[in-house]
Chain A
Amino acid sequence: MYAMLCTRPDLAYPISVLSQHMANPSMEHWMAVKRIFRYLQGTLQMKLQFGATPSKEVLGYCDADWGGDLEDKRSTTGFVFMIEGGAISWSNKRQPTIALSTTEAEYMANTQATKEAIWITKLMMDLGYMEEKKMMVIRCNNQGAISLTKNPTHHAQTKYIDVQHHFVRQRVENGKVRFEYCPMEHMVADVLTKALSKERYHKLINMFGLETS
Protein backbone atom coordinates (compact mmCIF):
# COMPACT_ATOMS: atom_id res chain seq x y z
CA MET A 1 0.00 0.00 0.00
CA TYR A 2 3.09 2.10 -0.11
CA ALA A 3 2.22 2.87 -3.72
CA MET A 4 -0.60 5.06 -2.54
CA LEU A 5 1.74 7.27 -0.55
CA CYS A 6 4.34 7.90 -3.16
CA THR A 7 3.64 8.12 -6.81
CA ARG A 8 0.04 7.13 -7.32
CA PRO A 9 -2.58 9.55 -6.00
CA ASP A 10 -5.12 7.72 -8.16
CA LEU A 11 -5.03 4.78 -5.76
CA ALA A 12 -5.73 6.76 -2.61
CA TYR A 13 -9.51 6.51 -2.76
CA PRO A 14 -9.93 2.85 -3.74
CA ILE A 15 -7.48 1.80 -1.09
CA SER A 16 -9.08 3.86 1.63
CA VAL A 17 -12.51 2.47 0.78
CA LEU A 18 -11.28 -1.08 0.95
CA SER A 19 -9.26 -0.49 4.09
CA GLN A 20 -12.44 0.35 5.90
CA HIS A 21 -13.49 -3.26 5.50
CA MET A 22 -10.17 -4.72 6.54
CA ALA A 23 -11.50 -6.23 9.73
CA ASN A 24 -14.29 -8.21 8.15
CA PRO A 25 -13.97 -8.56 4.40
CA SER A 26 -16.47 -10.43 2.28
CA MET A 27 -16.16 -11.97 -1.14
CA GLU A 28 -17.45 -8.72 -2.64
CA HIS A 29 -14.53 -6.81 -1.15
CA TRP A 30 -12.04 -9.30 -2.40
CA MET A 31 -13.46 -8.92 -5.90
CA ALA A 32 -12.92 -5.18 -5.56
CA VAL A 33 -9.33 -5.75 -4.50
CA LYS A 34 -8.80 -7.93 -7.53
CA ARG A 35 -10.21 -5.16 -9.64
CA ILE A 36 -7.59 -2.79 -8.25
CA PHE A 37 -4.90 -5.29 -9.16
CA ARG A 38 -6.26 -5.44 -12.68
CA TYR A 39 -6.25 -1.67 -12.80
CA LEU A 40 -2.63 -1.67 -11.62
CA GLN A 41 -1.79 -4.14 -14.33
CA GLY A 42 -3.33 -1.82 -16.90
CA THR A 43 -1.56 1.24 -15.57
CA LEU A 44 1.82 -0.12 -14.53
CA GLN A 45 3.65 2.41 -16.65
CA MET A 46 1.96 5.37 -15.06
CA LYS A 47 4.34 8.02 -13.75
CA LEU A 48 3.91 11.15 -11.73
CA GLN A 49 5.31 14.06 -13.67
CA PHE A 50 6.57 17.45 -12.55
CA GLY A 51 7.48 20.37 -14.72
CA ALA A 52 4.74 20.30 -17.33
CA THR A 53 3.50 23.75 -16.38
CA PRO A 54 6.38 26.08 -15.56
CA SER A 55 4.88 27.84 -12.58
CA LYS A 56 6.17 27.69 -9.05
CA GLU A 57 2.76 28.47 -7.60
CA VAL A 58 1.15 25.84 -5.46
CA LEU A 59 -2.52 25.28 -6.19
CA GLY A 60 -4.92 23.34 -4.01
CA TYR A 61 -8.10 21.50 -4.86
CA CYS A 62 -10.55 20.45 -2.26
CA ASP A 63 -13.70 18.38 -2.42
CA ALA A 64 -16.05 16.41 -0.23
CA ASP A 65 -18.46 13.58 -0.78
CA TRP A 66 -21.42 14.22 1.43
CA GLY A 67 -22.72 11.20 3.28
CA GLY A 68 -20.55 8.95 1.17
CA ASP A 69 -20.27 6.26 3.79
CA LEU A 70 -23.20 3.90 3.47
CA GLU A 71 -23.13 2.71 7.05
CA ASP A 72 -22.69 5.77 9.21
CA LYS A 73 -23.32 8.51 6.65
CA ARG A 74 -20.13 10.32 7.38
CA SER A 75 -18.66 12.38 4.56
CA THR A 76 -15.29 12.06 2.92
CA THR A 77 -12.75 14.85 2.57
CA GLY A 78 -10.38 14.86 -0.36
CA PHE A 79 -7.75 17.41 -1.21
CA VAL A 80 -4.71 17.64 -3.41
CA PHE A 81 -1.97 20.22 -3.81
CA MET A 82 -0.21 20.61 -7.10
CA ILE A 83 2.98 22.25 -8.24
CA GLU A 84 4.16 22.50 -11.84
CA GLY A 85 1.32 20.27 -12.95
CA GLY A 86 2.16 17.43 -10.58
CA ALA A 87 0.53 16.41 -7.32
CA ILE A 88 2.80 16.87 -4.31
CA SER A 89 0.42 16.17 -1.50
CA TRP A 90 -2.94 14.49 -1.35
CA SER A 91 -5.19 13.06 1.25
CA ASN A 92 -8.61 11.58 1.66
CA LYS A 93 -10.23 10.91 4.96
CA ARG A 94 -13.60 10.22 6.40
CA GLN A 95 -14.80 13.18 8.38
CA PRO A 96 -15.05 12.67 12.13
CA THR A 97 -18.52 14.21 12.49
CA ILE A 98 -21.60 13.87 10.37
CA ALA A 99 -22.31 16.80 8.09
CA LEU A 100 -25.90 17.88 7.61
CA SER A 101 -25.44 19.34 4.14
CA THR A 102 -23.04 19.30 1.22
CA THR A 103 -22.01 22.82 2.16
CA GLU A 104 -21.08 21.71 5.61
CA ALA A 105 -19.16 18.72 4.33
CA GLU A 106 -17.24 20.94 1.92
CA TYR A 107 -16.62 23.46 4.65
CA MET A 108 -15.06 20.80 6.83
CA ALA A 109 -12.97 19.67 3.87
CA ASN A 110 -11.79 23.25 3.44
CA THR A 111 -10.53 23.19 7.01
CA GLN A 112 -8.48 20.08 6.39
CA ALA A 113 -7.06 21.50 3.18
CA THR A 114 -6.18 24.76 4.94
CA LYS A 115 -4.13 22.90 7.51
CA GLU A 116 -2.09 21.30 4.76
CA ALA A 117 -1.88 24.58 2.83
CA ILE A 118 -0.33 26.30 5.82
CA TRP A 119 2.29 23.63 6.14
CA ILE A 120 3.16 23.73 2.46
CA THR A 121 3.38 27.52 2.53
CA LYS A 122 5.84 27.22 5.37
CA LEU A 123 7.93 24.70 3.51
CA MET A 124 7.99 26.83 0.36
CA MET A 125 8.99 29.82 2.45
CA ASP A 126 11.83 27.87 3.99
CA LEU A 127 12.99 26.84 0.55
CA GLY A 128 12.90 30.46 -0.51
CA TYR A 129 10.11 30.18 -3.06
CA MET A 130 7.31 32.01 -1.38
CA GLU A 131 6.86 35.26 0.40
CA GLU A 132 5.20 35.67 3.73
CA LYS A 133 2.32 37.76 2.40
CA LYS A 134 1.47 35.48 -0.45
CA MET A 135 -1.84 33.65 -0.30
CA MET A 136 -2.32 30.12 -1.38
CA VAL A 137 -5.33 29.51 -3.59
CA ILE A 138 -7.48 26.49 -2.96
CA ARG A 139 -10.21 25.61 -5.42
CA CYS A 140 -13.47 24.34 -4.16
CA ASN A 141 -16.71 23.60 -5.99
CA ASN A 142 -19.25 24.69 -3.44
CA GLN A 143 -20.21 28.37 -3.36
CA GLY A 144 -21.93 27.99 -0.01
CA ALA A 145 -18.79 26.66 1.64
CA ILE A 146 -16.71 29.43 0.13
CA SER A 147 -18.98 32.13 1.47
CA LEU A 148 -18.95 30.45 4.86
CA THR A 149 -15.17 30.81 4.93
CA LYS A 150 -15.54 34.53 4.29
CA ASN A 151 -18.46 35.60 6.42
CA PRO A 152 -18.24 35.21 10.14
CA THR A 153 -22.00 35.24 10.54
CA HIS A 154 -24.19 32.87 12.43
CA HIS A 155 -27.05 31.23 10.68
CA ALA A 156 -29.53 28.80 12.02
CA GLN A 157 -28.28 26.42 9.36
CA THR A 158 -24.66 26.53 10.35
CA LYS A 159 -24.39 27.49 13.96
CA TYR A 160 -23.93 23.94 15.16
CA ILE A 161 -20.79 23.46 13.07
CA ASP A 162 -17.99 22.33 15.26
CA VAL A 163 -15.60 25.00 16.48
CA GLN A 164 -12.55 23.35 14.95
CA HIS A 165 -13.92 23.88 11.49
CA HIS A 166 -13.99 27.63 11.90
CA PHE A 167 -10.22 27.46 11.86
CA VAL A 168 -10.46 27.99 8.13
CA ARG A 169 -12.41 31.23 8.59
CA GLN A 170 -9.68 32.70 10.71
CA ARG A 171 -6.99 31.75 8.22
CA VAL A 172 -8.93 33.35 5.39
CA GLU A 173 -9.17 36.50 7.48
CA ASN A 174 -5.41 36.44 8.09
CA GLY A 175 -4.82 36.18 4.39
CA LYS A 176 -3.13 32.80 4.55
CA VAL A 177 -5.40 31.09 2.08
CA ARG A 178 -8.05 32.07 -0.38
CA PHE A 179 -10.84 29.91 -1.70
CA GLU A 180 -11.86 30.10 -5.28
CA TYR A 181 -14.77 28.56 -7.07
CA CYS A 182 -13.98 25.78 -9.47
CA PRO A 183 -16.65 24.15 -11.61
CA MET A 184 -17.27 20.46 -11.15
CA GLU A 185 -15.58 19.34 -14.34
CA HIS A 186 -12.19 20.68 -13.28
CA MET A 187 -12.39 19.39 -9.75
CA VAL A 188 -9.36 17.12 -9.56
CA ALA A 189 -9.99 16.18 -5.94
CA ASP A 190 -13.14 14.36 -7.03
CA VAL A 191 -10.96 11.33 -7.71
CA LEU A 192 -10.13 11.24 -4.01
CA THR A 193 -13.71 11.06 -2.78
CA LYS A 194 -15.76 8.93 -5.17
CA ALA A 195 -15.77 6.29 -7.85
CA LEU A 196 -16.12 7.90 -11.26
CA SER A 197 -17.02 6.97 -14.80
CA LYS A 198 -14.21 6.14 -17.19
CA GLU A 199 -14.08 9.37 -19.21
CA ARG A 200 -14.17 11.65 -16.22
CA TYR A 201 -11.72 9.51 -14.31
CA HIS A 202 -9.11 9.61 -17.04
CA LYS A 203 -9.45 13.31 -17.56
CA LEU A 204 -8.96 14.03 -13.87
CA ILE A 205 -6.03 11.74 -13.21
CA ASN A 206 -4.27 13.36 -16.13
CA MET A 207 -4.64 16.63 -14.33
CA PHE A 208 -2.84 15.06 -11.36
CA GLY A 209 0.24 14.85 -13.50
CA LEU A 210 -0.07 11.11 -13.96
CA GLU A 211 1.28 10.22 -17.35
CA THR A 212 1.44 6.94 -19.16
CA SER A 213 4.34 6.85 -21.51
Chain B
Amino acid sequence: MQEEYDSLMTNNTWTLVPLPASRKPVSCKWVFKIKQGANGEVEHYKAKLVAKGFTQTYGVDYNETFMPVAKFTSICCILALAALEDMEIHQMDVKTTFLNGELEEEIYMEQPQGFVHQGGEHLMCKLHKSLYGLKQSPRAWNQKLNAFIKSIEFMKSEADPNVYVAQVGDVKFFIVVYVDDLILVCNDQNKLLQIKEELSQKFEMKDLGELHFFLGMEVERNRDERLIRINQIKYLKEILKCFRMEECKPIEVPLDPKVKLQRNANGNDESKGFPYQ
Protein backbone atom coordinates (compact mmCIF):
# COMPACT_ATOMS: atom_id res chain seq x y z
CA MET B 1 0.00 0.00 0.00
CA GLN B 2 2.80 2.33 0.95
CA GLU B 3 4.53 1.42 -2.27
CA GLU B 4 1.52 2.29 -4.38
CA TYR B 5 1.02 5.52 -2.46
CA ASP B 6 4.63 6.49 -2.97
CA SER B 7 4.44 5.80 -6.69
CA LEU B 8 1.33 7.94 -6.94
CA MET B 9 3.17 10.71 -5.11
CA THR B 10 6.27 10.56 -7.32
CA ASN B 11 4.04 10.59 -10.39
CA ASN B 12 2.56 13.81 -9.12
CA THR B 13 -0.93 12.37 -9.41
CA TRP B 14 -2.63 14.98 -7.26
CA THR B 15 -2.19 18.03 -5.02
CA LEU B 16 -4.15 18.77 -1.87
CA VAL B 17 -6.49 21.74 -2.14
CA PRO B 18 -9.62 22.95 -0.39
CA LEU B 19 -12.80 21.88 -2.15
CA PRO B 20 -14.62 24.62 -4.09
CA ALA B 21 -18.08 25.15 -2.66
CA SER B 22 -19.94 24.01 -5.75
CA ARG B 23 -18.20 20.68 -6.20
CA LYS B 24 -18.77 17.22 -4.90
CA PRO B 25 -15.73 15.03 -4.45
CA VAL B 26 -15.32 11.62 -6.05
CA SER B 27 -14.68 8.86 -3.58
CA CYS B 28 -12.03 6.25 -3.87
CA LYS B 29 -10.98 2.98 -2.35
CA TRP B 30 -8.14 0.56 -2.09
CA VAL B 31 -8.29 -2.67 -4.02
CA PHE B 32 -6.12 -5.53 -2.82
CA LYS B 33 -4.87 -8.31 -4.99
CA ILE B 34 -2.79 -11.37 -4.36
CA LYS B 35 -0.41 -12.03 -7.21
CA GLN B 36 0.11 -15.72 -7.78
CA GLY B 37 3.00 -17.38 -9.52
CA ALA B 38 2.70 -20.13 -12.10
CA ASN B 39 2.27 -22.80 -9.41
CA GLY B 40 -0.33 -20.91 -7.48
CA GLU B 41 2.02 -19.81 -4.68
CA VAL B 42 1.68 -16.30 -3.35
CA GLU B 43 4.24 -14.05 -4.98
CA HIS B 44 3.31 -10.74 -3.50
CA TYR B 45 0.40 -8.68 -2.28
CA LYS B 46 -0.57 -5.68 -4.26
CA ALA B 47 -2.69 -2.67 -3.38
CA LYS B 48 -4.17 -0.36 -5.95
CA LEU B 49 -6.00 2.90 -5.45
CA VAL B 50 -9.07 3.22 -7.64
CA ALA B 51 -11.47 6.09 -7.98
CA LYS B 52 -15.15 5.31 -7.83
CA GLY B 53 -16.05 6.43 -11.33
CA PHE B 54 -19.75 5.94 -10.73
CA THR B 55 -19.73 8.84 -8.27
CA GLN B 56 -18.76 11.22 -11.05
CA THR B 57 -21.26 13.60 -12.61
CA TYR B 58 -21.46 14.06 -16.37
CA GLY B 59 -20.58 17.57 -17.52
CA VAL B 60 -18.89 18.38 -14.23
CA ASP B 61 -16.38 15.65 -13.53
CA TYR B 62 -16.19 14.25 -17.02
CA ASN B 63 -17.20 15.05 -20.57
CA GLU B 64 -15.92 12.62 -23.15
CA THR B 65 -15.27 9.03 -22.24
CA PHE B 66 -15.13 7.38 -25.62
CA MET B 67 -12.00 5.52 -26.49
CA PRO B 68 -11.69 4.06 -29.95
CA VAL B 69 -10.07 0.67 -30.53
CA ALA B 70 -8.62 -0.62 -33.77
CA LYS B 71 -10.97 -2.52 -36.04
CA PHE B 72 -10.22 -6.12 -36.60
CA THR B 73 -10.35 -5.61 -40.33
CA SER B 74 -7.51 -3.12 -40.16
CA ILE B 75 -5.40 -5.57 -38.19
CA CYS B 76 -6.06 -8.31 -40.78
CA CYS B 77 -5.32 -5.93 -43.61
CA ILE B 78 -2.00 -4.89 -42.17
CA LEU B 79 -1.00 -8.45 -41.33
CA ALA B 80 -1.79 -9.50 -44.90
CA LEU B 81 0.29 -6.68 -46.37
CA ALA B 82 3.11 -7.42 -43.97
CA ALA B 83 3.06 -11.08 -45.01
CA LEU B 84 3.38 -10.23 -48.65
CA GLU B 85 6.10 -7.64 -48.23
CA ASP B 86 7.97 -9.62 -45.61
CA MET B 87 7.89 -6.82 -43.06
CA GLU B 88 8.85 -7.09 -39.41
CA ILE B 89 5.89 -7.44 -37.05
CA HIS B 90 6.57 -6.70 -33.41
CA GLN B 91 4.45 -6.18 -30.37
CA MET B 92 4.78 -3.99 -27.29
CA ASP B 93 2.55 -3.33 -24.37
CA VAL B 94 2.30 -0.51 -21.89
CA LYS B 95 2.52 -0.98 -18.15
CA THR B 96 0.24 1.10 -15.93
CA THR B 97 -1.65 2.29 -18.96
CA PHE B 98 -4.26 4.51 -17.45
CA LEU B 99 -1.92 6.28 -15.04
CA ASN B 100 -0.17 7.83 -17.99
CA GLY B 101 -3.06 9.96 -19.11
CA GLU B 102 -3.37 13.62 -18.26
CA LEU B 103 -6.76 14.94 -17.25
CA GLU B 104 -8.50 17.79 -19.01
CA GLU B 105 -11.17 18.25 -16.37
CA GLU B 106 -10.77 19.36 -12.80
CA ILE B 107 -11.55 16.48 -10.52
CA TYR B 108 -11.58 16.47 -6.76
CA MET B 109 -11.21 13.22 -4.91
CA GLU B 110 -11.38 12.35 -1.25
CA GLN B 111 -8.09 11.50 0.35
CA PRO B 112 -7.33 7.80 0.32
CA GLN B 113 -8.16 5.88 3.44
CA GLY B 114 -5.21 5.50 5.76
CA PHE B 115 -3.28 8.28 4.07
CA VAL B 116 -5.25 11.32 5.16
CA HIS B 117 -2.95 14.29 5.57
CA GLN B 118 -2.69 15.24 9.21
CA GLY B 119 -4.04 18.68 9.93
CA GLY B 120 -5.48 18.82 6.40
CA GLU B 121 -8.45 16.53 6.83
CA HIS B 122 -10.76 18.97 5.08
CA LEU B 123 -8.59 19.11 1.96
CA MET B 124 -9.33 17.21 -1.23
CA CYS B 125 -7.03 15.71 -3.82
CA LYS B 126 -7.11 17.64 -7.04
CA LEU B 127 -6.19 15.10 -9.69
CA HIS B 128 -3.66 15.78 -12.44
CA LYS B 129 -3.18 12.30 -13.78
CA SER B 130 -5.89 9.78 -14.43
CA LEU B 131 -6.52 6.98 -11.97
CA TYR B 132 -8.03 3.56 -12.48
CA GLY B 133 -11.77 3.75 -12.25
CA LEU B 134 -12.25 7.28 -13.48
CA LYS B 135 -14.63 7.45 -16.39
CA GLN B 136 -12.28 9.37 -18.62
CA SER B 137 -9.11 7.42 -17.83
CA PRO B 138 -9.08 5.32 -20.99
CA ARG B 139 -9.68 8.35 -23.14
CA ALA B 140 -7.02 10.40 -21.42
CA TRP B 141 -4.51 7.64 -22.06
CA ASN B 142 -5.51 7.29 -25.69
CA GLN B 143 -5.12 10.99 -26.28
CA LYS B 144 -1.72 11.07 -24.73
CA LEU B 145 -0.49 8.15 -26.79
CA ASN B 146 -2.05 9.66 -29.89
CA ALA B 147 -0.27 12.96 -29.35
CA PHE B 148 3.03 11.22 -28.85
CA ILE B 149 2.79 9.00 -31.92
CA LYS B 150 1.88 12.01 -34.00
CA SER B 151 4.85 13.91 -32.60
CA ILE B 152 7.23 11.27 -33.95
CA GLU B 153 5.95 11.96 -37.45
CA PHE B 154 3.23 9.41 -37.90
CA MET B 155 0.00 10.16 -39.69
CA LYS B 156 -3.23 8.96 -38.19
CA SER B 157 -5.36 6.98 -40.60
CA GLU B 158 -8.67 8.61 -41.38
CA ALA B 159 -10.40 5.29 -41.83
CA ASP B 160 -9.30 3.81 -38.53
CA PRO B 161 -8.13 6.27 -35.88
CA ASN B 162 -6.00 3.62 -34.21
CA VAL B 163 -3.82 2.98 -37.19
CA TYR B 164 -0.82 5.21 -37.69
CA VAL B 165 1.28 5.34 -40.82
CA ALA B 166 4.69 6.75 -41.58
CA GLN B 167 6.35 6.52 -44.94
CA VAL B 168 9.74 7.97 -45.74
CA GLY B 169 11.20 6.88 -49.04
CA ASP B 170 11.13 3.11 -49.07
CA VAL B 171 10.63 2.75 -45.34
CA LYS B 172 7.08 1.97 -44.37
CA PHE B 173 5.94 1.89 -40.80
CA PHE B 174 2.51 1.04 -39.39
CA ILE B 175 1.42 1.17 -35.76
CA VAL B 176 -1.83 -0.35 -34.60
CA VAL B 177 -3.03 0.55 -31.12
CA TYR B 178 -5.39 -1.65 -29.17
CA VAL B 179 -5.82 -0.06 -25.74
CA ASP B 180 -2.42 -0.84 -24.23
CA ASP B 181 -1.18 -3.22 -26.91
CA LEU B 182 0.78 -1.91 -29.85
CA ILE B 183 1.61 -3.73 -33.06
CA LEU B 184 4.56 -2.27 -34.91
CA VAL B 185 5.00 -3.21 -38.54
CA CYS B 186 8.03 -2.04 -40.49
CA ASN B 187 10.17 -3.09 -43.41
CA ASP B 188 13.33 -1.70 -41.85
CA GLN B 189 14.99 -3.20 -38.76
CA ASN B 190 16.82 -0.05 -37.72
CA LYS B 191 13.79 2.16 -37.96
CA LEU B 192 11.86 -0.36 -35.89
CA LEU B 193 14.48 -0.31 -33.15
CA GLN B 194 14.57 3.45 -33.18
CA ILE B 195 10.79 3.82 -32.77
CA LYS B 196 10.74 1.19 -30.04
CA GLU B 197 13.42 3.13 -28.22
CA GLU B 198 11.48 6.37 -28.52
CA LEU B 199 8.30 4.76 -27.21
CA SER B 200 10.08 3.16 -24.27
CA GLN B 201 11.61 6.46 -23.29
CA LYS B 202 8.25 8.14 -23.16
CA PHE B 203 6.18 5.37 -21.56
CA GLU B 204 6.92 2.41 -19.40
CA MET B 205 6.72 -0.31 -22.04
CA LYS B 206 7.40 -3.98 -22.37
CA ASP B 207 8.87 -5.19 -25.64
CA LEU B 208 7.32 -8.52 -26.53
CA GLY B 209 9.41 -9.09 -29.64
CA GLU B 210 7.85 -10.67 -32.67
CA LEU B 211 4.10 -10.92 -32.71
CA HIS B 212 2.83 -14.34 -31.68
CA PHE B 213 -0.24 -13.78 -29.62
CA PHE B 214 -2.64 -10.89 -29.86
CA LEU B 215 -6.19 -10.45 -28.54
CA GLY B 216 -6.58 -14.14 -27.96
CA MET B 217 -5.42 -15.13 -31.39
CA GLU B 218 -2.24 -16.86 -32.35
CA VAL B 219 -0.21 -15.56 -35.26
CA GLU B 220 1.95 -18.01 -37.18
CA ARG B 221 4.31 -16.99 -39.87
CA ASN B 222 6.15 -18.63 -42.69
CA ARG B 223 8.48 -15.99 -44.00
CA ASP B 224 9.94 -18.11 -46.78
CA GLU B 225 6.53 -18.60 -48.31
CA ARG B 226 5.35 -15.18 -47.20
CA LEU B 227 2.35 -16.55 -45.39
CA ILE B 228 0.63 -15.54 -42.20
CA ARG B 229 -1.91 -17.72 -40.49
CA ILE B 230 -4.06 -16.66 -37.59
CA ASN B 231 -6.03 -18.99 -35.37
CA GLN B 232 -7.87 -19.16 -32.09
CA ILE B 233 -7.35 -22.83 -31.34
CA LYS B 234 -6.69 -22.21 -27.66
CA TYR B 235 -9.83 -20.17 -27.26
CA LEU B 236 -12.00 -22.66 -29.13
CA LYS B 237 -10.69 -25.50 -26.97
CA GLU B 238 -11.65 -23.53 -23.90
CA ILE B 239 -15.15 -22.98 -25.19
CA LEU B 240 -15.61 -26.66 -25.92
CA LYS B 241 -14.37 -27.50 -22.47
CA CYS B 242 -16.64 -24.97 -20.89
CA PHE B 243 -19.66 -26.66 -22.47
CA ARG B 244 -18.27 -30.10 -21.78
CA MET B 245 -18.12 -30.81 -25.48
CA GLU B 246 -14.37 -31.43 -25.67
CA GLU B 247 -14.83 -35.08 -26.50
CA CYS B 248 -17.75 -34.89 -28.87
CA LYS B 249 -17.76 -36.57 -32.25
CA PRO B 250 -16.57 -34.17 -34.95
CA ILE B 251 -18.73 -33.19 -37.88
CA GLU B 252 -17.88 -31.43 -41.12
CA VAL B 253 -20.66 -28.91 -41.73
CA PRO B 254 -21.95 -26.57 -39.00
CA LEU B 255 -25.59 -26.39 -40.08
CA ASP B 256 -27.78 -29.12 -41.47
CA PRO B 257 -29.16 -27.78 -44.78
CA LYS B 258 -32.28 -29.89 -44.31
CA VAL B 259 -33.20 -28.50 -40.92
CA LYS B 260 -35.12 -25.23 -40.94
CA LEU B 261 -35.03 -23.61 -37.56
CA GLN B 262 -38.30 -22.08 -36.51
CA ARG B 263 -39.48 -20.01 -33.67
CA ASN B 264 -40.18 -21.96 -30.51
CA ALA B 265 -43.83 -22.59 -31.27
CA ASN B 266 -45.31 -24.03 -28.13
CA GLY B 267 -44.26 -20.99 -26.18
CA ASN B 268 -43.09 -22.68 -23.01
CA ASP B 269 -39.58 -22.10 -21.88
CA GLU B 270 -37.53 -25.14 -22.69
CA SER B 271 -34.25 -23.37 -22.09
CA LYS B 272 -33.89 -24.71 -18.57
CA GLY B 273 -31.48 -27.57 -18.54
CA PHE B 274 -29.20 -26.37 -21.31
CA PRO B 275 -26.82 -23.43 -21.35
CA TYR B 276 -28.01 -21.68 -24.51
CA GLN B 277 -26.13 -18.41 -24.66
Please list the residues of chain A having a beta carbon within 8 angstroms of any beta carbon in chain B. 1-3, 5-8, 10-11, 13-14, 17-18, 21-22, 24-30, 32-52, 54, 56, 70-71, 81, 83-84, 86-89, 119-120, 122-129, 194-198, 201-202, 211, 213
Q: How far is the CA of A3 from the CA of B217 in the complex (A)?
A: 9
Interface centre among A5, A50, A198 (most CB of B within 10 A): A50
User: Can you list 30 A-B contacts (CB < 8 A)?
Assistant: A1-B277, A8-B232, A25-B264, A25-B270, A28-B261, A30-B276, A34-B245, A36-B254, A36-B255, A38-B248, A38-B250, A40-B245, A41-B246, A41-B248, A46-B231, A50-B79, A50-B80, A51-B225, A51-B227, A51-B228, A71-B263, A83-B81, A87-B76, A88-B73, A88-B76, A89-B73, A127-B81, A127-B174, A195-B259, A198-B253
Q: How far is the CA of A126 from the CA of B73 in the complex (A)?
A: 14
Q: Beyond A6-B217, A30-B274, is A14–B76 a contact (Cβ under 8 Å)? A: no
Question: Chain B 218-262 against A: per-residue CB contact (8 Å), 1 yes, 0 no?
Answer: 001000011111111101110110010110111111111101111
Q: Whose C-beta in chain A lies nearest to the C-beta of B234?
A: A44
Q: How far is the CA of A127 from the CA of B266 in the complex (A)?
A: 54
Q: Is the CB of A44 within 8 A of B255?
A: no
B158 interface residue per 8 A CB criterion:
yes
Q: Beyond A25-B270, A50-B83, A83-B77, is A195–B256 a contact (Cβ under 8 Å)? A: yes
Q: Which of A10, A25, A49, A56 contacts B276 (CB 8 A)?
A: A25
Q: Which of B77, B226, B251 contacts A42 (CB 8 A)?
A: B251
Chain B neighbourhood of A46, CB < 8 A: 231
Chain B neighbourhood of A40, CB < 8 A: 236, 239-240, 245
Q: Is the CB of B261 within 8 A of A127?
A: no
Q: Which of A18, A32, A48, A122 contacts B230 (CB 8 A)?
A: A48
B167 interface residue per 8 A CB criterion:
yes
With both chains docked as a complex, state the minimum distance between the C-beta of B80 and any C-beta of chain A, in angstroms: 4
Extra pairs beyond A43-B252, A196-B257 (20, CB < 8 Å): A24-B267, A25-B274, A25-B276, A26-B270, A32-B255, A37-B239, A37-B248, A38-B251, A41-B250, A42-B251, A51-B80, A51-B228, A84-B80, A84-B83, A122-B158, A123-B159, A126-B157, A126-B159, A126-B160, A127-B78
Q: How far is the CA of A194 from the CA of B254 in the complex (A)?
A: 11
Interface centre among B76, B80, B239, B254 (most CB of A within 10 A): B254
Chain A neighbourhood of B245, CB < 8 A: 34, 37-38, 40-41
Q: How far is the CA of A91 from the CA of B81 in the complex (A)?
A: 22
Q: Whose C-beta in chain B lies nearest to the C-beta of A38?
A: B251
Q: How far is the CA of A89 from the CA of B160 in the complex (A)?
A: 14
Chain A neighbourhood of B165, CB < 8 A: 126-128
Interface size range on B against A: 35 or more
Q: How far is the CA of A43 from the CA of B172 in the complex (A)?
A: 36
Q: Is the CB of B163 within 8 A of A50?
A: no
Q: Is the CB of B233 within 8 A of A39?
A: no
Q: Is the CB of A202 within 8 A of B264?
A: no
Chain A neighbourhood of B261, CB < 8 A: 17-18, 21, 28-29, 32, 70
Q: How far is the CA of A49 from the CA of B222 in the complex (A)?
A: 11
B67 interface residue per 8 A CB criterion:
no
Q: Which of A2, A45, A83 contacts B80 (CB 8 A)?
A: A83
Q: Whose C-beta in chain A lies nearest to the C-beta of B225?
A: A51
With both chains docked as a complex, state the minimum distance between the C-beta of A80 and any C-beta of chain B, in angstroms: 11
Chain A neighbourhood of B38, CB < 8 A: none
Q: Whose C-beta in chain B lies nearest to the C-beta of A5?
A: B72
B84 interface residue per 8 A CB criterion:
yes
B21 interface residue per 8 A CB criterion:
no
Q: Is the CB of B81 within 8 A of A54?
A: no
Which residues of B from 114 to 159 have beta carbons under 8 Å from A?
A: 155, 157-159
Q: Is the CB of A49 within 8 A of B262?
A: no
Q: Is the CB of A39 within 8 A of B172?
A: no
Q: Beyond A25-B270, A41-B240, is A48–B255 a contact (Cβ under 8 Å)? A: no
B12 interface residue per 8 A CB criterion:
no
Q: Which of A3, A42, A198 contacts B239 (CB 8 A)?
A: A3
Q: Is the CB of B262 within 8 A of A70?
A: yes
B216 interface residue per 8 A CB criterion:
yes
Q: Is the CB of A35 within 8 A of B251?
A: yes
Chain B neighbourhood of A56, CB < 8 A: 81, 84
